[in-house]
Amino acid sequence: MALNLLPLHTLLIFVSIINSALLSSADQDSHPYIWPLPAEFSSGEETLSVDPGVSLIVAGDGGGSPIVRAAFERYMGMIFKHTYGRASSLLARIRFLRMVEYDITSLNIIVHSESEELQLGVDESYTLMVSKRNEQSIVGAATIEASTVYGALRGLETFSQLCAFDYSTKSVQIYKAPWFIQDKPRFAYRGLLIDTSRHFLPVDVIKQIVESMSFAKLNVLHWHIVDEQSFPLETPTYPNLWKGAYSRWERYTVEDASEIVRFAKMRGINVMAEVDVPGHAESWGVGYPDLWPSLSCREPLDVTKNFTFDVISGILADMRKIFPFELFHLGGDEVNTDCWKNTTHIKEWLQGRNFTTKDAYKYFVLRAQQIAISKNWTPVNWEETFSSFGKYLDPRTVVQNWLVSDICQKAVAKGFRCIYSNQGYWYLDHLDVQWDKVYKTEPLNGIKHPSHQKLVIGGEVCMWGETADTSVVLQTIWPRAAAAAERMWSSREAVSKGNITLTALPRLHYFRCLLNNRGVPAAPVDNWYARRPPKGPGSCYAQ
């Protein structure tokens, strides 16, 4: 089915904008709550019913994308969870000659671009209008318009949050209609790190994480695949590397990794792979002991051998076929060079080049950067590379913060792009950091100049895996990752003013319960310590 393209933007000019403070005063009767808060929106006082057989009408060059169709089916499943037999209800509707009249009988999705390219800065904006169909209405009852399929996905998530199952009428309703929403993300990069080296996470669990990210409009899965403890990924060029896996079963095949990338793309999420060098790489040597400085001193990777860089090049060549995202993370953090200093052949090599260990660290990182760049990747490095030898880094480097609070400020002043993920606030393994501290953290703090601000491409919450295995990873991520997600999506003004106990907390409670209803085991919001169980009986909305 097709629909003529309509000038939604011209309509939206007339839309009055209300802010989050107004929304927060809403009581239980005037839902919905939306998380993260859209850039601009207005609502009314009507309640509209949604047809469980709602049809999808697409338009625009990208409207016919399978990504749109699959997302529509996914979201209809979530929206009509309590309306059993969506398909049979379609039949029933035909059978009973539409005896029940619904207000919303179709969802129009207009996507202007046919490109499904998913890269940093892809247009995720959308407009969403929901209003009762009437003779004056020139648009359908619910309409999402977006430049790209990924904008349409964000619009579908918002639409799903407008829909609530009403237990009295047993129908799905949209309160406070008409809705006019014009939305776009504040930052292009809104990441979550997972760590599959400290604990292996099965493919199904990574998919659960990716799916849950899409509910909060996060858009980059930073996959810290390998570390000193284990090397789970198959690398055909150097097939012994995954001998460094914990066991023969705690592994990802190339096909597994590709499946994760595909699954994530269907949800508008990029996967940024990380291969952390030269530290955090002890597990490599299980398959190729030559990569260790010596059998008794195993980290960092042996800087002296071409073999080391051949292996890196081989891994990156293999991974290039799996990960299409333009960013690739080379780590570079916490490099303890004692093994270089204390191993005879490396000590001699350093002396021969008149290198300090710091010079060797720089040499290693820069050589690895060039390998990534030669494979058409933009390198990302942890901040120590910038603080140690920033002026030598390739200017395309994206610096990722974790340690020092003003490192992004310094990096952007030197023209580098930066990702904010300060450990004191956005490391999810810091279990004593509560939601409000996560929420109040502002990536642009101290960065005044607009040209500098633009270089902060976004932020990332990091779920390091030392004590987060399959059994606890999702409840360590949620709900706190949602606090950062709103900070990164919504306008700085909306999330920075007012009393967040009123403007944000009720919506976060609601979002946590939405996650629970979708089968995601998000932990109580009020926990003083992350992932703790509730203290006693009670409602999801008050814990």
Residues marked active site are found at 334
253 lies in the binding site for its own copies (CB under 8 A)? yes
DSSP state, 481?
H
Task: Figure out which of the listed residues 472, 491, 496, 498 binds its own copies, where binding follows CB under 8 A.
Answer: 472
498 lies in the binding site for its own copies (CB under 8 A)? no
CB-wise, 470 or 496, nearer to its own copies?
Answer: 470
Stretch that binds its own copies, among 161-169, 171-179, 181-189, 337-345 (CB under 8 A): 161-169
522 lies in the binding site for its own copies (CB under 8 A)? yes
Residues 195-214 that bind its own copies (CB under 8 A): 197-200, 202-205, 208
250 lies in the binding site for its own copies (CB under 8 A)? yes
441 lies in the binding site for its own copies (CB under 8 A)? no
Q: How far is CA 323 from CA 231, 257, 259, 320, in A?
A: 17, 8, 11, 5
Choose among 450, 458, 448, 445: nearest CA to 418.
Answer: 458
Q: State how far the Cα of 195 lies from the Cα of 206, in Å rounded to an integer.
A: 10
Edge-to-edge strands, sheet with 126-130 = 40-42, 179-183, 126-130, 142-146, 104-111, 46-59, 171-177, 163-166
What would the two tokens of residue 404 be? 């020092």
Closest distance to its own copies from the beta carbon of 73 (Å): 17
# of chain residues touching its own copies (CB under 8 A): 64
Contact 87, 31 (CB under 8 A): no
Choose among 525, 490, 509: nearest CA to 186.
Answer: 490
468 lies in the binding site for its own copies (CB under 8 A)? yes
255 lies in the binding site for its own copies (CB under 8 A)? yes
Contact 354, 405 (CB under 8 A): no
Closest distance to its own copies from the beta carbon of 526 (Å): 12
What is 418-461 written as a DSSP string?
A: EEE--HHHHBTT-TT--HHHHHH--TTTT---HHHHTTEEEEEE
- Cβ within 8 Å of residue 11, ≥6 positions away: 129, 139, 180
235 lies in the binding site for its own copies (CB under 8 A)? no
Residues 27-46 that bind its own copies (CB under 8 A): 28
CB-wise, 234 or 460, nearer to its own copies?
Answer: 234
Here's the x/- map for its own copies, 3-32, by CB under 8 A: it reads as -------------------------x----
Contact 188, 218 (CB under 8 A): no
CB-wise, 88 or 119, nearer to its own copies?
Answer: 88
Q: Tell me which residues touch its own copies (CB under 8 A).
A: 28, 81-82, 84, 164-165, 167, 170, 197-200, 202-205, 208, 229-230, 234, 242, 246-251, 253, 255-256, 259, 465-476, 513, 516-519, 521-524, 531, 533-543
